[in-house]
Structure formats: structure tokens, C-alpha cells
Amino acid sequence: MYKILVADSLPKHILEKYDKSKNITVDNKSGISKEELMEILPEYDGLVVRSRTKVTADVLAKGDKLKVIGRAGAGVDNIDTDESTNRGIIVMNTPGGNTIAATEHTLAMMLAVMRNIPRANMSLLDDKWDRKTYIGNELFEKTIGVVGLGKIGYGVAKRLKGFDANILAYDPIVSKELADRIGVKLVELDELIEKSDIITIHAPKMPETIDLFNKERLEKCKDGVVIVNCARGGIVNEADLLASLDSGKVSAAALDVYSSEPPADFTLAKHPKVVATPHLGASTEEAQVKVADMILDQMIEYFEKNVARNAVNFVSIDEEIQPIIAPYFELAQRLGKLFNQGKQGHLKEVAISFYGDTINVPVEPISAHLMVGALKSAETELINPVNALAICRDREISIEIAKKDLALTSHTNLIACDFKTDEGFYHFAGTVFAKDQFHLTECGEFTCDANLEGNMLFVENEDIPGVVGQLGLVLANYNVNIGHLSLGRLKDKKDALNVFNLDSPIGEGVINELKTVKGVKQVYTAEI
């Protein structure tokens, strides 16, 4: 039974819809305080928040069972995503759920500030008829700079074309083909700043975008530019914007977001050249229902099918691909375990290569499963596929992932991995022989065809007659049955590798006796 805690307000009928799901309960604790949240969080597998609840590191420390955090909305800056990743907790959001709401709010704010609508309305409420003071400006044929062409920026740009505006756009990852589709000209940020009459911001908040519009960039703008920010607070430096409004460099601003919410100081929001709203971009009845429905649907899908749609800190796997990729998750983890049990020294570098059909599925999550096997121990229980690659980065373990078109051996679909420690080098390769059969095809320099499961015994020896028989006799004397045997040879070096799958584990006494067999060089075991 999985338990989901809802910390912020969601529509009642949506909560009732999902609380009927099999093996999952949804507890509505809307408005819960941080202290109350920390007290009851250890009971829950999932947590749903909007923007009110701050999921900080100290909150996460209480989530002993927490597997997934769902944000009913797009922005996740109220969630410590790095700490969530370190703890192996998936963070997912609902991109697109409030796209229309945020798009329309941006246009409303732009029109309101250009036509002085809020202050003209306030004038009438004071029984004044003052048309001259509130003369505005048109959007028609204005040059409008759109910073960020994601779903919302794209929607804003598309609708602004209906005003016959000239649209410039800056987005470092968007293709020219996408921009051309709606008649938008892609430019560098400096050009957009220098040429735009109005600048509307639709970028995510991240280290690279904090204070993106500071004193230096605002000074490069056209005299009398209008700034619209309905994206995230902190992208526009508020002190610098206030100074630019006072100087007249910026003629007006429309703001829906602030560096702290609610603002510690309302001076900017109250400025006579500013139209301000309290983060209403996603606040429509339709959007609130849509994102609530989406996030609970996604979380339940994760618990029931292990599919993490819209995860922001993990590669999401489509339900259709899940049956295809799941066996490779298992294969990778087994290869990692094989290394983990035989390694000497501290891991420094890993190279993972994918061959055959494996190159057609997402390889990063497969690599994450391999590293879970390679790193996990009794002291590292927090390691899972969500945080494995991040933990490698923290430990300065270099990971190289490559896709290869040609098969490495006669096996078509293969995962090969090279591990380098400060004391040695280890190479393994494996394949999925059938849905639940995993074979080790390479071990060091040797090729083999061993079952990658159960109690495994590896014996490296001189390639001379009689060794295999003697090894079998030792095992028989200890009443150990051999389930499968694979032999690999290096004819030029006259060396051989014997990989035994045993029906039971063997102790130190058996291993020591195996080492006494003539020609044996090395003996080691693994339990997969």
C-alpha cells in the first residue's frame, strides 16, 4: 500500500477520483505547516505540493520512505531538487498543464501595462474622468523580444503575431525551424535587448538566469523599453529594475513574480509605472484542475507501473518502452554487482558501451542501474537509479557512455563496461539471452557464455589438460553441484577461464583447496 500526502490545495473532485485507486491512498492535508509536514512525512511514499510548500533539505531528511515528489505546476524552485536527487527521490512536474493560463496572463499583463488599464480603472473608482493621463501604446508593429521559447514563450510569440508585431526570440536550445514555424526571428540575447520595444521573459529560473536582467543589461535596452516578467522571480534584478523605472530607462513593467513571495518589500509592486499581480499566471479554474489531475495520475502511474513521466531529475521511460528496457536494467545491475564483489581499490573511471538494439532505448537510466550495482553496499543503502549518476559526480567518478553500431561479438545486443580503480582494471560484457535470462559474455580478456545469476565461481588457470576435472572433484568432495560451466581460452597466452554456476555457495575452505589444484592462478566468487 502506497500513501500520498497532499500538502497544498487540490480540487476536491480530483482528490476523490484518485483516492479510489487500488493499493494507493491519497491523504489531503492542504495548508499543513512545515512543522506538521516534517512530523508526518515519514509515513508517506509520495508528496504533492504547489508553490506554497517549500520542500527544503530539512524537510526531505524526514522523508524516510519518500520515493516521489509531485509539483502541481511547472516550476520546481520550491523543491530542493539536488537534495531530492541525492536521496534518490524523483521530482516530477506538470509541464503544459498551465500553459494556456500562463500564456493568456502574459498577454493580459502586456496589454494592461501598455494601455494603463489598472490605473485608469482606479481613477474611475475615485469618480474621476481622466482620459489624457492614461493615453497608452499599441502592440501593432512593435518589436517584441521573447526570452525563452518553451511552451509558454512559444504560445505568447504565436499569439503576438496576431497583433502584427515583429517578434525576436532568444533561446539557446531552440532550432531555427521551430522559430520559422511561427515567423519568429532567432537572435542572440544582446541583439534582442538592443532592438526590442517590449521584452517578455519566459525562461526557467536556474543559476544561469538569476539576475539575467541586471543593471548592465537594462542599460543596453532601448530607452523607454517595457519589461514583462510572468516567468520566475529573480530573473530580473528588482533593485536594478526599480532604479531603471525611476530614471525612465524602463518606461513600464508588468510583474507577476518576485524574488521572494510574498515580497518582503512592496515598493516595486506599488510603483506608478508597474502593473503587478500576485503570481496569478497559472491561476485559472481550468489550469488548477488540469495540473492536479495530471500530477496525481503521474504519481500513481509511477507506483503502479514504475513509469516516471515528467521527471525533472531522472530520465522518464515511456510505458511502451518499459517492457523492452526493463531486462537491460537488470542486466546492467548484475554486471555492476559482479564488479562490486571482486573489485580492489577505489573506483575512478567507468566506460559503458551499448551495442545492437540497446542503442535504440534510453541508455542513461540503464547506466544508472549499472552504477547502483557497482556502488551499493550495506553502508550506501540510499543509492538507487535516481541518484546513482549524481553520486558518481560527487565522488569524482568519471563515466563515459557510448553507443556502438557494430556488434562487439557474435551477440547482437550487448552491454560492455570497463571499470578502472586505483588498483586495477576490470572488463565485463553481458547480454539478455531471453526475457529473464542474463549471460556473461566477456570477463577480462576472456570470452565466455555463463549464466549471470546465483552462486558464481571464477577460476583462472593454465590451459593444460586435467584442470577442469580436478576442480570438479574438489567441488564434488564438498557436495557442491555444478549447474552450468562455461570455458574461455586465450590460446596465445595458454590461459583459460572457467565460470561455474553452482547450486549452493562455497566457503573459504573450498576456495583454498581449489587454489591448490595444479595450474590454478586465481579463484574468486560472486553472488548475483
User: Which of the residues 36, 138, 216, 261 is marked catalytic?
Assistant: 261
- DSSP one-letter code for 345: S
Please, which residues bridge with residue 451 across strands? 439
- H helices within 161-204, ranges in order? 176-181, 189-195
Q: How far apart are CA 463 and CA 518, in angstroms?
A: 11
Q: How far apart are CA 429 and CA 354, in angstroms?
A: 10
Q: Which class for 466: exposed (0-12), middle (13-18), buried (19 or more C-beta within 10 A)?
A: exposed
- DSSP one-letter code for 204: P
User: Which of the residues 87, 105, 202, 232 is marked catalytic?
Assistant: 232
- Residues with Cβ within 8 Å of 485's Cβ and at least 6 positions away in sequence, in order, are 468, 498, 499, 500, 501
Q: Are 154 and 171 in contact (CB under 8 A)?
A: no
Q: Are 452 and 483 in contact (CB under 8 A)?
A: no
Residue 365 backbone phi and psi in degrees, to 5:
-65, -30
User: Which of the residues 71, 87, 279, 411 is marked catalytic?
Assistant: 279
Helices 151-160 & 99-114 angle (0-180, nearest 10): 50
**HSE on the CB side for 458, CA within 13 Å?**
25
Q: How far apart are CA 79 and CA 7, in angstroms?
A: 13
Q: How far apart are CA 524 and CA 501, in angstroms?
A: 13
Q: How far apart are CA 386 and CA 371, in angstroms?
A: 11
Radius of gyration for the alpha carbons in the chain, expressed in angstroms and rounded:
30
Is 261 an active-site residue?
Answer: yes
Q: How far apart are CA 285 and CA 434, in angstroms?
A: 50
b/e sequence 96-118, b meaning 16+ C-beta within 10 Å: ebbbbbbbbbbbbbbbbbbbbbb
Residue count of the chain? 528
Is 279 an active-site residue?
Answer: yes
Rounded to the nearest 10 degrees, how much is the dihedral formed by the CA atoms of 257, 87, 39, 22?
90
Other C-beta atoms lying within 10 Å of the C-beta of residue 430:
25
Q: Could you please report the per-residue DSSP string of 448-462? A: EEEE-SSEEEEEEEE
Q: Are 389 and 332 in contact (CB under 8 A)?
A: no
**Catalytic site residues?**
232, 261, 279
